[in-house]
Structure 1
Amino acid sequence: MNDLQREYQDLVQADRHLAAGEQRIAEQLALIQRMVEQGYETARAKDLLRLLEETMVAWRDHHQLILDTIARHERALSRPPLADPGPKAP
């Protein structure tokens, strides 16, 4: 497996992590809403929500790094090879 293929695999995994993270945040928001409606203390639930949101920021940054790396690899592959300049003159 080459570097570009590995990056594409990493991108698929990063996409899965982002989707799962969004789902967890939605579930946590729903939980907090139910807790508020039922009169429960929500400080710890909101702390967890903040942590989930911070994690998503890091995962989005990582996702962007993967995209940047893929673009760099693809540019390198699309460049024509450099011509051999031959022996250097004295």
Structure 2
Amino acid sequence: MTADLDQERADLILADRHLAAGEQRIAEQRALIRRMTEHGFNTATARDLLRLLEETMILWQEHRQLILDAIARHERALTPPPQADSRSQS
């Protein structure tokens, strides 16, 4: 079970890296669109790409949440249930 938890944690690190890289790409694409607009270029294709990048980010965020949910499940499975305190039953 701990191997599964370790893998999920590694997946979380990778997902966070992908999200950070995606945010950087989106920022760069927005800057490109701004420059293109300032110079009078057609930005339709650039805007389509930006929309796809943003949609991909949503999917990656959902995937990250699934990883967090799996980590929580693994951690709950590894935690023993609380024991009843025999002193409180007197």
With the shorter chain as reference, the TM-score category is 0.7 to 0.9
Larger helix proportion, structure 1 or 2?
2
Fraction of identical pairs, as percent? 70
Post-superposition offset of 1:79: 2.2
1:1-90 alignment runs, 5 A limit: 2-80=3-81
Q: Give, as a single letter, the amino acid of the residue that structure 2 aligns with 1:78.
A: T
Q: Segments of 4+ in structure 1 off by > 6 A?
A: none
CA distance in 2: counterparts of 1:35 and 1:18, whole angstroms: 25
- RCO comparison, higher one (Cα < 8 Å, 6+): 2
Post-superposition offset of 1:67: 0.2
State the TM-score, normalizing by the size of structure 1: 0.86
Flag structure 2 segments of 5+ consecutive residues without an equivalent.
82-90
Flag structure 1 segments of 5+ consecutive residues without an equivalent.
81-90
Computed over aligned residues only, the root mean square deviation of the Cα atoms, in angstroms, reads: 0.9
Q: 1:40-87 CA distances to partner (integer Å, 9 max, x unpaired)?
A: 00000000000000000000000000000000000110124xxxxxxx
